[in-house]
């Protein structure tokens, strides 16, 4: 379930404000109904919830929602430089396959309003976007924005761009698709069963021009730290999460948590639903975060981690972990430990001089 209260940087709102300003809309009108001040949007330390960004979007679309291709026009402005450590981790990845894995692992740091999935079949790599949780009045705009944004990221990562084999949208075609053709290079398929970008899978294992293992590992750690901070929820969800993490090996059930919070289970469900989450989702979140910590910071076996998280058998934990991370626990542990291993810098003596310079990466 998408967390509408998860905060992200204000870079995306800044793009929306620029788009509005180009069309004669004031910053005050664009931010109406939010707690944001115009000067805060350009503050690198400012944050905004997904819920508030939706308010900005509705303000923009109330004025210009009939403009064909506004979503793809917006998405083409979402360059990697907007995304902070998430964008830098992608840019410094060894291959496009590695970049896709990093992107999906930390997708909550991007500006998507839904779930992204990756699939490889029939010699094509496919990135699919699930828009089912997006409010209907914003669905086509946000789908076009994320799909065009992914295409823009491909152009940023490859000097010649990443040619698309297919682009599909679930929503009907707008009256004018000129912007879609300009961005993607051909007419996308509309009224499809899925939202999908497809490209030649051969690109997945091509070396990226700005690959740097040390930079990627550093940026991934920044992504982990940033997500950990932003997932410290507030409200009822925060209280539930605090109760769950007290003893992950003996997770209390919903009735117990509701009693500790002096409310009925039905009221707890309603309050969590109002905050865009559920008791089950919070249990999953706690187990996922704790499993990552235990796998990367302890020597516990898969069976021990499963027991620590309250699973009756390790097979259930392994299935859940595959769903969360796309790989089994021990494969995740190996990747993360390799990524966190610091790159060794050595001092190289310069021949025939008394000086020493640093710079060799071994």
Residue ending a domain, choose from 178, 211, 244: 211
Question: Would 362 be classed as within a structural domain?
Answer: no
Same domain, yes or no, for 84 and 204? yes
C-beta separation of 204 from 198 below 8 A: no
Same domain, yes or no, for 189 and 288? no
What count of other Cβ atoms lies within 10 Å of the Cβ of residue 306?
A: 24
247/310 Cα distance (integer angstroms): 10
Question: Would 252 be classed as within a structural domain?
Answer: yes
| Residue 312 burial by Cβ neighbours in a 10 Å radius (0-12, 13-18, 19+) | exposed
Q: Is 108 helix (H, G, I), strand (E, B) or coil?
A: helix
Same domain, yes or no, for 14 and 111? no
Same domain, yes or no, for 76 and 139? yes
pLDDT score for 231: 64
What one-character-per-residue DSSP string does 247-278 give? Answer: -GGG---HHHHHHHTTS-HHHHHHHHHHTT--
Same domain, yes or no, for 192 and 85? yes
Same domain, yes or no, for 117 and 242? no
Same domain, yes or no, for 74 and 206? yes
Same domain, yes or no, for 133 and 200? yes
Give how many domains the chain has, as a whole number: 3
pLDDT by residue (tens digit) across 63-101?
999 999 999 999 999 999 899 899 999 999 999 999 999
Question: Would 310 be classed as within a structural domain?
Answer: yes
Structure tokens at 99: 């970049």
How would you list the strands of the sheet with 124-130, edge to edge?
Answer: 115-121, 124-130, 195-200, 166-168
Give the helix ranges, DSSP H, for 11-95. Answer: 11-22, 27-30, 38-41, 50-64, 70-75, 85-91
Residue ending a domain, choose from 16, 32, 64: 64
Give me the residues paired with residue 195 across strands. 129
Same domain, yes or no, for 82 and 192? yes
Same domain, yes or no, for 97 and 195? yes
Question: Would 39 be classed as within a structural domain?
Answer: yes
Assess whether pLDDT exceeds 80 at residue 136.
yes
| Residue 5 burial by Cβ neighbours in a 10 Å radius (0-12, 13-18, 19+) | middle
Closest C-alpha to 317, from 272, 273, 251, 253: 251
Structure tokens at 87: 């964008």
- DSSP label at residue 208: P
Run of H or E including 362: none
Antiparallel, parallel or unpaired: β 124-130 and 195-200: antiparallel
- Whether pTM > 0.85 for this model: the answer is no
pLDDT by residue (tens digit) across 181-224?
999 999 999 999 999 999 999 999 999 989 999 888 888 888 88
Mean pLDDT, to the nearest integer, of 223-251?
Answer: 74
Question: Would 227 be classed as within a structural domain?
Answer: no
pLDDT score for 176: 97
Domain that holds residue 322: 233-340
Same domain, yes or no, for 36 and 106? no
What's 269's domain CATH number?
1.10.10.60
Hey, which of 154-163, 190-199, 248-257, 352-361 has the most confident mean pLDDT?
190-199
313/89 Cα distance (integer angstroms): 35
Handedness of CA 156, 18, 7, 84 (dihedral sign): positive
pLDDT by residue (tens digit) across 328-346?
999 988 887 776 555 444 4
Same domain, yes or no, for 274 and 239? yes
Closest C-alpha to 244, from 310, 305, 323: 310
Question: Would 219 be classed as within a structural domain?
Answer: no
Question: Would 251 be classed as within a structural domain?
Answer: yes
Residue ending a domain, choose from 39, 64, 89: 64
Question: Would 356 be classed as within a structural domain?
Answer: no
55/52 Cα distance (integer angstroms): 5
Give me the residues paired with residue 125 across strands. 120, 199
Run of H or E including 296: helix 279-297
Run of H or E including 77: none
User: How far is the CA of 219 from the CAs of 113, 156, 263, 325, in angstroms?
Assistant: 23, 17, 42, 18
């Amino acid at each position: 379930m998408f967390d509408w209260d998860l905060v992200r940087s204000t870079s995306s709102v800044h793009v929306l404000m620029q788009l509005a300003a180009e069309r004669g809309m004031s910053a005050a009108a664009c931010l109406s109904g939010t707690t944001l001040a115009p000067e805060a949007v350009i503050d690198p330390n400012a944050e905004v919830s997904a819920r508030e960004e939706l308010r900005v979007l509705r303000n923009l679309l109330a004025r210009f929602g009939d403009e064909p291709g506004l979503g793809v026009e917006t998405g083409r402005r979402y360059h990697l430089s907007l995304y902070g450590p998430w964008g830098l981790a992608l840019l410094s990845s060894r291959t496009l396959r590695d970049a896709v894995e990093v992107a999906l692992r930390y997708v909550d740091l991007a500006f998507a309003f839904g779930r992204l999935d990756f699939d490889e079949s029939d010699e094509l790599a496919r990135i699919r976007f699930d828009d089912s949780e997006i409010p209907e009045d914003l669905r086509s705009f946000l789908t076009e924005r994320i799909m065009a944004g992914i295409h823009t990221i491909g152009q940023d990562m490859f000097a010649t761009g990443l040619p698309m084999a297919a682009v599909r949208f679930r929503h009907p075609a707008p009256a004018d698709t000129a912007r879609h053709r300009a961005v993607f290079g051909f007419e996308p398929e509309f009224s499809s069963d899925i939202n999908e970008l497809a490209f030649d899978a051969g690109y997945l294992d091509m070396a990226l021009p700005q690959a740097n293992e040390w930079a990627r590992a550093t940026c991934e750690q920044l992504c982990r730290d940033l997500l950990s901070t932003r997932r410290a929820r507030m409200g009822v969800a925060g209280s539930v999460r605090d109760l769950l993490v007290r003893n992950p090996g003996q997770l209390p059930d919903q009735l117990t948590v509701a009693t500790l919070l002096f409310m009925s289970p039905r009221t707890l469900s309603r309050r969590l639903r109002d905050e865009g989450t559920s008791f089950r989702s919070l249990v999953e979140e706690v187990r996922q975060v704790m499993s990552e910590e235990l796998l990367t910071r302890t020597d516990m076996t898969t069976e021990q981690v499963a027991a620590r998280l309250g699973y009756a058998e390790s097979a259930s934990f392994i299935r859940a972990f595959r769903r969360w991370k796309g790989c089994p626990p021990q494969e995740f542990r190996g990747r993360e430990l390799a990524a966190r291993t610091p790159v060794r810098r050595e001092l190289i003596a310069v021949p025939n001089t008394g000086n020493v310079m640093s710079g060799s990466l071994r």
